[in-house]
Amino acid sequence: MREVHNKKIYSYPKDVLIAAVIFAAAVCQWGGNHGKAAETVSFAALEDIAEKKVAITFDDGPNPDYTEELLSGLKERGVNATFFLLGKEVEKYPDIVKDISDSGHLIGTHSYEHVNLSNLSDAAAIEQVDKTNAAIYDITGKYPEYIRPPYGCWKCNLDYETKMIEVLWDVDPKDWATDNSGVIAKRVIDKVGENDIILLHDASESSVKAAFAIIDELKKEGYTFVTVEEILME
């Protein structure tokens, strides 16, 4: 489930792009003295196209028991993630929020109190967003651009009112429903594909362990982990 509003994203099948690059390289090489340079550039581009990207995201934090452990493991693995934070937790644990930001991860908004924003009046929904954004800005010096509404429920007119970009997900292992990290990891690994957005929570030991297992396995399979911004705006 992925939503992006007010942005145009164009994508083409990878085999089409690869074929185009190979063809361009062949034409340039046939052309004479500049062929070698053109071939080098073209196959560098081919390597970029072949890169498999995936985004891992965490909702409901910051969590005083698990977020720091997660950050440490992400750093060890050289992985950038996206954190969708709750305003009330941001206010409680500003040091953790600063650590998330300073570690190079992308921070988004997840409302202030984890409420279904589509059930609120526009004014109340906007307050949930603005209050959270302000709390994050006070700590990081940056206003979030992305929001993951709780339960994936959002009003389209709030795109304009809040100037936020809605981000949902492609793979949800429902990590909140089990404490078995192996089950969580398998659900993701079995389903995930290129350019997918994975939904997890930094609210339990099982979710953190599952995140590390997912990262380790997908890296073996050739995936590169990026923020949702890179997935959506590429």
Neighbours of 156 (CB within 10 A): 9
Per-residue model confidence as pLDDT tens digits over 90-134: 999 999 999 999 999 999 999 999 999 999 999 999 999 999 999
Question: Cis link prior to 62 (omega < 30° from 0)?
Answer: yes
pLDDT, tens digit, for every residue of 157-215? 898 899 999 999 999 999 999 999 999 999 999 999 999 999 999 999 999 999 999 99
Active site residues: 59, 201
- Give the confidence band of 49 by pLDDT, cuts at 50, 70, 90: low
Q: What's the pTM?
A: 0.80
How far apart, in whole angstroms, are the C-alpha atoms of residue 57 and residue 199?
Answer: 5
Summarised one tens digit per residue, pLDDT across range 68-79 is 999 999 999 999
C-beta contacts of 14-23 below 8 A and 24+ residues apart? 14/49, 14/50, 14/194, 17/49, 18/46, 18/49, 18/50, 21/45, 21/46, 21/49, 22/46
- pLDDT per residue as tens digits for the range 133-155: 999 999 999 999 999 999 999 98
Looking at residue 164, the DSSP 8-state letter turns out to be P
Phi/psi-derived region of residue 163, left when phi > 0, alpha when psi is between -120 and 50, beta in every other case = left
Percent with pLDDT over 70 in the chain: 79
- How far apart, in Å, do the first and last CA atoms of the chain sit? 18
Task: Assign 50 a pLDDT band (cuts: 50, 70, 90).
Answer: low
Report residue 7's pLDDT band, with 50, 70 and 90 as the boundaries: very low
Domain with CATH 3.20.20.370 in the chain: 52-233
Q: What is the CATH number of domain 52-233?
A: 3.20.20.370
pLDDT tens digits along 9-23: 333 444 444 444 444
Instruction: Provide the β-strand partners of residue 106.
Output: 82
